Structure 1
Amino acid sequence: MRIIFMGSPDFSTPALDALVEAGHDIAAVYCQPPRPAGRGKKDRPTPVHARAAELGLPVRHPTSLRSPEEQAAFASLGADIAVVVAYGLILPKPVLDAPKHGCLNIHASLLPRWRGAAPIHRAIMAGDSETGICIMQMEEGLDTGPVLLRRATPIGPEDTTADLHDRLAAMGARMIIETLDRLDQLPAQPQPETGVTYAAKIDKSEARIDWTRPAPEIDRQIRGLSPFPGAWCMMNGERLKLLGSRMGLGKGTPGALLDTALTVACGTGGDRGAVQITRLQRPGHTAQSADAFLRGIPLGPGARLE
Structure 2
Amino acid sequence: MTLRLAFMGTPDFAARSLAEIAAAGHEVVHVFTQPPRRRGRGQSEQKTPVHQLAEVLGIPVSTPASFRDPDVIAHFASLDLDLAAVVAYGQILPQAALYAPRMGCLNLHASLLPRWRGAAPIQRAIMAGDTMTGVQLQQMEAGLDTGPILLSETVRIKDSDTAASLHDRLMEAGALMWPRALAALERGSLEAVSQSSDGVTYARKISSDEARIDWSRSAEELSNHVRGLSPFPGAWFEMPGEKRPVRVKVLLAEPVSGEAAAGPGTVIEGLTVACGEGALRLVRLQREGKGAMDAATFLNGNSLPAGTVLD
> Which bin holds the TM-score, normalised by the shorter protein?
over 0.9
Does the residue aligned with 1:182 lie in a helix, a strand or coil? helix
Equivalent position of 1:209 in the other structure: 213
Amino acid paired to 1:264: V
Equivalent position of 1:188 in the other structure: 192
Alpha-carbon distance change, 248 to 101 in structure 1, aligned in 2, over 3 angstroms: same
Select the residue among 1, 4, 7 that pairs with 1:2.
4
Amino acid paired to 2:281: Q
Deviation at 1:68, TM superposition (A): 2.7
Deviation at 1:299, TM superposition (A): 5.7
Does the residue aligned with 1:258 lie in a helix, a strand or coil? strand
1:124–1:161 Cα contact (<8 Å) kept: yes
Equivalent position of 1:107 in the other structure: 109
CA distance in 2, matches of 1:135, 1:115: 13
Deviation at 1:286, TM superposition (A): 1.7
Amino acid paired to 2:287: R
CA distance in 1, matches of 2:30, 2:100: 14
Alignment of 1:33-72 (within 5 A): 33-72=35-74
Moved more, 89-98 or 287-296: 287-296
TM-score by length of 1: 0.92
Alpha-carbon distance change, 256 to 97 in structure 1, aligned in 2, over 3 angstroms: same
Select the residue among 3, 11, 18 that pairs with 1:16.
18
Equivalent position of 2:266 in the other structure: 256
Deviation at 1:278, TM superposition (A): 2.2
- Which consecutive residues of structure 2, in runs of 5 or more, have no partner in the other structure? none
- Number of aligned positions between the proteins: 301
Deviation at 1:99, TM superposition (A): 1.3
1:242–1:281 Cα contact (<8 Å) kept: yes
Equivalent position of 1:246 in the other structure: 254
Select the residue among 278, 283, 296 that pairs with 2:283.
278
Deviation at 1:301, TM superposition (A): 4.1
TM-score by length of 2: 0.91
Deviation at 1:87, TM superposition (A): 0.4
Select the residue among 147, 162, 165 that pairs with 1:145.
147
Amino acid paired to 2:248: L
Does the residue aligned with 2:236 lie in a helix, a strand or coil? strand
Moved more, 102-111 or 183-192: 183-192
CA distance in 2, matches of 1:128, 1:220: 9
Amino acid paired to 2:210: E
CA distance in 2, matches of 1:94, 1:304: 55
Equivalent position of 1:226 in the other structure: 230
CA distance in 2, matches of 1:259, 1:156: 28
Moved more, 160-169 or 233-242: 233-242
CA distance in 1, matches of 2:254, 2:209: 22
CA distance in 2, matches of 1:276, 1:8: 36
CA distance in 2, matches of 1:76, 1:98: 9
Deviation at 1:83, TM superposition (A): 0.6
Does the residue aligned with 1:88 lie in a helix, a strand or coil? coil
Deviation at 1:291, TM superposition (A): 4.2
Corresponding position: 1:305 with 2:310? yes
Amino acid paired to 2:147: G
1:3–1:24 Cα contact (<8 Å) kept: yes
1:157–1:246 Cα contact (<8 Å) kept: no
Alpha-carbon distance change, 19 to 292 in structure 1, aligned in 2, over 3 angstroms: farther
Instruction: Summarize deviations over 1:13-36 as a string: whole Å, max 9, x none.
Output: 110111122222211110011122
Select the residue among 264, 286, 292 that pairs with 1:287.
292
Deviation at 1:91, TM superposition (A): 1.1
CA distance in 2, matches of 1:166, 1:279: 20
Select the residue among 81, 85, 99 that pairs with 1:83.
85
Moved more, 171-180 or 243-252: 243-252
Percent of pairs identical after alignment?
A: 53
1:158–1:245 Cα contact (<8 Å) kept: no
Deviation at 1:41, TM superposition (A): 2.7
- Which consecutive residues of structure 1, in runs of 5 or more, have no partner in the other structure? none
1:252–1:266 Cα contact (<8 Å) kept: no
Select the residue among 149, 155, 162 that pairs with 2:164.
162
